[in-house]
Amino acid sequence: MEKKTFSIPNISCGHCVMSIKNELGELEGVKSVDGNPETKSIDVEWDAPITEDKILETLKEINYPAA
């Protein structure tokens, strides 16, 4: 299992975090997503078949690109 914290400058509230959780949570292999609007970051844990590149691509697609 891999785990990484991503910096997401567009996060401004709890709703933003929930949107990210919902979208990433649908990806096969994503085990958990947790976020903090105060630090503008999300923690993601995942296993194959998902990759970090696919997570980054998904964040960009939903208008929350990682810094």
Q: Tell me what pLDDT residue 4 has.
A: 98
Return the residue matching tokens 């959780």. Answer: 21
The token pair at 67 is: 């810094």
H-run or E-run covering 56: helix 52-61
Per-residue pLDDT at 45: 98
pLDDT for 2 equals 97
pTM for this structure? 0.94
CATH 3.30.70.100 corresponds to the domain 2-61: yes
pLDDT tens per residue across all 67 residues of the chain? 999 999 999 999 999 999 999 999 999 999 999 999 999 999 999 999 999 999 999 999 999 999 9
For residue 32, count other CB atoms closer than 10 A to its CB. 13
